[in-house]
Structure 1
Amino acid sequence: MEVITTHINADFDCLGGMIAAKKLYPKAEMVFAGSQERSLREFFLHSASYAYAFKRVKDIDLDRVTRLILVDVREPGRIGPFEDVARRSGVEIHIYDHHQDSDEDHLSGVVEVIEPVGSTVTVFSHLFMERGIHPNADEATLMMLGLYEDTGSLMFSSTTVKDFQAAAFLLEHGANLTEVADFLTYEMTPEQVRLLHDLLANRMVLNIHGYDVSVAHASVDQFVGDLAVLTHKLRDMENLRALITVVRMGDRIFMVGRSSLPEVHVGEILSEFGGGGHAFAASATVRDLTLVQVLDRLASVLKRQVNPRLEVRHLMSHPVKTVAPDESIEHVREFLTRYNINAVPVVEGDCVLGLLTRQVVERAAHHGLGDVAAREYMESDFATVEPEDPIDILQDLIVRRNQRFVPVMSEGQLIGAITRTDLLRYMVDRAPRSEGGREPAEETAQTEYKPREVIRLLRNRLPERIQDLLEQIGRCGDELGVKVFVVGGFVRDLLLDLPNLDLDIVVEGDGIAFAEHYARQHQCRVRAHQKFGTAVIVLPDEFKVDVASTRVEFYLEPAALPTVENASIKLDLYRRDFTINTLAISLNGERFGEIHDFFGGLRDLRQKAIRVLHNLSFVEDPTRVFRAVRFEQRLEFHIGKQTEHLIRSAVRMGFLERLGGPRLLSELQHILEEEHPYPAIERLSQLDLLKFLHPSLDLPVDCEDLFDRATRSLNWFDLLYTEESCQRWLVYLLCLVTRLDDDAMQGLCDRLSIPGRYRSLLADERHRAHGVLKGMRRRWRQARRKPRNSDLYVWFEGFSIETLLYLMARIETEDVRRWVSLYVTRLRDEKSWIDGEDLKKMGIPPGPQYKEILRRVLLARLDGKATTREEEIAFVTRRYRSLIT
């Protein structure tokens, strides 16, 4: 008889693996060795798809078993009644597992298929691919359940490329993701909620050989199921790298371990308590010991089992494969594939010039940049380590700076490398501590804010109504069971102590549903945009709050608008432009004020640096070039070395030429709306960006003085309090293009797709203004006396306020500038006393001549020749006597 079985407390990976094994051994009986986890038990209650195929242990004659197929397990102590069968002489054992080897006792089989992947289902999926075996839709769905459960929906750190390939294979064969999601959705019972609360309250941190291991304990009288799920939740809530939960339930002690640190092998640790598992997940059940005894023993086991701190030299790989800076992107792509590596240093002689990752190379190739030299998109802003450095120094480089490949240097020579894969298990979420080695360089250190510090900043720097609003938004998120964050520029400026009340709220869920729920509670209006999953909440006082679902953006080609998909908060922040704009603050309940910094934004705020998140940022969205300059000048920061290199590369490659006019105009308008725009304009010129507005556009020597006079003119106009609106950016744009001829100006309008309402001002009105300017200058040189008021009126009549202020900026002489100010403050609003009705009463027949007559009357009034109603009538009587009947 053939029997397929798995470990006690079976989960979905066990189920999926057993279903897969049945395809390989169609005559075998499927038998669970013990109980199942609650999620699996509930599955059998709601789905009868495979219930008929499983048998109970009592229905099997164990003495007749000749072949034992073990799925997801190798330890004899974890297969219950089948342990004796496995040890019996003459029984053939076949093992399919994904757990790595450990020092504990494990079985050997005549067939062993063991691979270090995320789930046992992955092992079977690849066997199916190799042998041409095709699961049906139901089988694929059950296998996908196991794969998703054990890999955390392909997001656990233990997930491998093979797991993604297995998921694709199962999806091709009809795996139903809706059913997978339904069965993996987990709601806690009241008993589990209370137990989780107790575990949170009783968590302590033991520092073992420099590594933090959290131990949470609790005691309940009745059995509470799914301690493994609660352990997962506790780990995720507290963002822990190593956690062991110890719970007394009745007369037994249950232990569950989870770890992402290779030094903390929870499988080996819990094997000393009679349990087992692998390096990242394990469990044990203890009898005949009290909770206190288990905790005391656990402390000593941890000291013995947790490995001492390693040095870089213990993990580095050598020799290191390298590429030359002039090698093409396509060559580097083939190079990475050939050697099955994910990153490579770019080396010239003995000098490491930069780094290239597979991600950047693949994206560059996707955008048609295969012929471009490696030096164009290599990461030139990177850190190196020395072989004697402690592993801890790498934690900050990989976690905080997202440096996937770290060169190991000794006396100026490249002697090895550490990759992200090598160090994945060492990554931590706090600033590193170094024992016996050099401290991390200052530029890699991280400024951290505790929630209470962020709350204090919110209270000290925000109006009370905004504080209340943020708290209300957080409570709304709690009610809906979704995570809510305030993100982006608001967080950046809060930390920099700059005024900014533009609230950008993101929701890990349905942003529109969230906005509508909030609006119902607080009598607000909502404007929703279904296509993008965004909404605007309009409060009763007309204050607006932007709300969006967390999403990720994909660019199908350079400079194109992005394709949007739902994503996690981390991926949502990754789509943003610069690290300083990727900060988020949690608004939910007890996590209110917790700051999230996935990409080194806090570090760059402290260093006053503008940095993009990846090397193809300006290829995918070239408008970020202009935003980089704007933020640099507004915040008085500096563009990082690598980011400036990428900007110059984007300029050389001509990616900004692909930008549509409206997008380019929008970015230019934002720059010109800054309080002092000239430094940003000058920076654009330094980076050779002005040519993308028009090839003839450059900065004249006196441009800074022109902008300065424009600023003074605008400030002067603001102090008039006329309540007349003025587009400041148009005034500055006129200053920027002041040397362009009419044809070039028309070309710039076409390039930027200037709307009609502005085009006439920038083309026709500007042309006439330049003629008036030339005439005024000639008049001043020849006569050096003030023109008549009527002359000023004729010169400036019909000009917009923007053009008038531009003329004031163009005039260097104060006396001449007063001519324009006189027209703006008094002359342009003058009206004649008489009108058409008066002309009619005087006996002048109605007709087109009325307009000319009244204009002449107004000009006479401006020159003081007719200052009263009677004088105006007399003026008309004298001048137009022949028209009076």
Structure 2
Amino acid sequence: MKNMQTKPDMEIIVTHVSSDFDSFAGMIAASKIYPDAKVVLPTSINQNVRKFLALYEDSLPAFQKPADIDLSSVKKVIMIDTKIPGRLGSVKELIEAKKAEIIIYDHHRNSREDIGYGLDYSEEIGATTSILVDIIKKRKITITPLEATLFALGIYEDTGSFNYPTTSQKDFNVSSYLLKNGANLFVISKFLNLSLSDEQHKLLEKLISNCRKLKINEKEIIISYAVTDKFIEGLSVLTRKLAQVEDIAVVICWVKMKEKTYIVARSDDIEVDVSRILTAVGGGGHPQASSGITKGLSFSEIESKIISSLQKYIKQPLTAKDIMSYPIRVINEEESIYKVNEILKKYGHSGIPIVDAGGDLAGIITRKDIDKAIKHGLSHAPVKGFRSHGIITASLNTTIDEIQNLMIENGIGRIPIINKGKIVGIVTRKDILRYLHGLAFLKYPFKQQNYERLFGLFPNDIQNIFEAVSNTARELKYRAYLVGGMVRDLLLGKQNFDIDIVVEGDGIIFARKLSEMLSARIDSYEKFKTAVLILKNGQHIDIASARIEYYEKPAALPDVEMGNIKQDLARRDFTINTLALSLNKNDFGSILDFFGGRKDIAAKRIKVLHKLSFIEDPTRIFRAVRFEQRLGFKMDSQTEKLAISAIEMNIVSELIGIRIRDELISILSEEKPWEALRRLHELGALKKIGINRELTSEFIYYIEKVLKKCLSLEVLLGKDRRKLKLLGKIVRLGRAKRGACEFGISFAGM
């Protein structure tokens, strides 16, 4: 046996027991960053790692056994692939004594068992090794082809060869770097796909024989168990094999080997997080791959705990009613091809359901069908002769997985949703893709608690308003959402008490009911289904029905129709203003982000929702500039190009004068309006509204001086009157030939 280590100020690199390739490779990568630290090999390592060591140990750094380390001489511990002291074996005592400096590199989600101190470099990505290799890359530390291969093994294993949802861009980037530095894909494949031993084959047969299929909230799960009289490694591999044999996404196995029971869970379903499920038996790990070890629990106790945990953490699946578009636009079967063609062009639909005289679904007609009919000179004919028969439909409670299968099996892109014989909505390919590629597009409360806590930052009177809105929505069976700048500013940490409420239902009925609760005065606008409540303290609450807008021609005011919250948010000016927070009892505080608004807020980016946004409403150009200056954001390159293009097309010139005036007055209300004027000049917008003068530095200087003078006189003249007068002066200056200096002096002397 080696002598006990006595070197003072010793640094050690440790990882969890049952070390896999990610944790083992992570330790070797850490030794490149901390060359004076000793790598401590855990008491147990996975079979494929041990086989790798049998071949390549001589080419890797020397390892220490835990028993060879004098813990009293350790001053620094570098923890790899875990934050839980209980998974470190004997080193746990040193951690709990808090006598050593702790540095952590991990990629697992935080848990209650985590160490509560230390320098933590963890990231929630695909593999811990990726974090360390990224540092190696940035520091330009030399690595050998063998090290590159080992590091890649760690990343490939823990990302499921880049198939697991936890895989990040960093995992891809560092893997590319490793391949450039000699990582051997043949070796990687060899050690990730080891053939089974005879003992493993027999154990797999037992697991197949004992497996039982469960169905919990529409999710199919396989559970299985076995007993062996000795330890057989590779249960994680066998669990994956069982999933492949049974063609099931979620599998949980437990095997008693001597006095311990080993539990392994695997999930290829993004909605089933097995790391949470195994907490019931003391396990943990990744959402897609977790494990645990228990003593003293019978098989029936383990099964009972796991099933209870499955029922707790597997939520009811999302169904058609969660993602469908509604209310649905339909046409009568007697309508002409010409009329239907006009409707499709007006709303940009690629198809539309057809109903009979009783309102029952009679078919669907697509843009392709319409084009063929027109080509044959049949514009006058009723659509019923061209509709698709044998329509595939679904109910409100049909799961999204079932709808997806219907689309695939029948080669269709839209499925009408039927309730009590009537069409109540439609699910399209686009809806399915949003679900598959980002839950942020859906009403999914994955951020609910965080945002609910933020509501506590509002004054009590504002919180009382939100509670009244929630109660009103529940009483009327509506859904109500907080929208607009208040949501944006809430995420930015800015104070904003301008309350805008959108309801799925009649906004005026909602406003009347809410006004009774709040003892508020109400002004309503029947045409647009909007209302304003004025409380006794002067607080205004804007209420609107969720609606759709469409524009008959550029720069015109929009026509509106009733819609749902998704359609309402789709008509907003910029993505940063498309967020909505639920004020409904069942998901209070959850965020709806259909258009990537949170991502653009984080990037400080102003982005339009579609390419014709500025053509439809050129005032959005002025608002974009205003938000740039107010929030410190910047239009993205595509949005700026679209703004310049709309300006060059003279769309701004088509605006009604009062709309331009209102936008400019809003700009003059900002803290530094001269910056916004400078930006409008850069874009070419000022020339289009009659301000033709070049904005030289001298001109800007005097404009700034005049605006500051204006602000000081607001008390005397009133804000709106003062700004109108100022606006007139700026426009006249833009058309005049006298100098900016002369103007500034004359204006300031008013």
TM-score where L is the length of structure 2: 0.44
Which protein has the larger Cα radius of gyration, Structure 1 or Structure 2?
Answer: 1
TM-score where L is the length of structure 1: 0.38
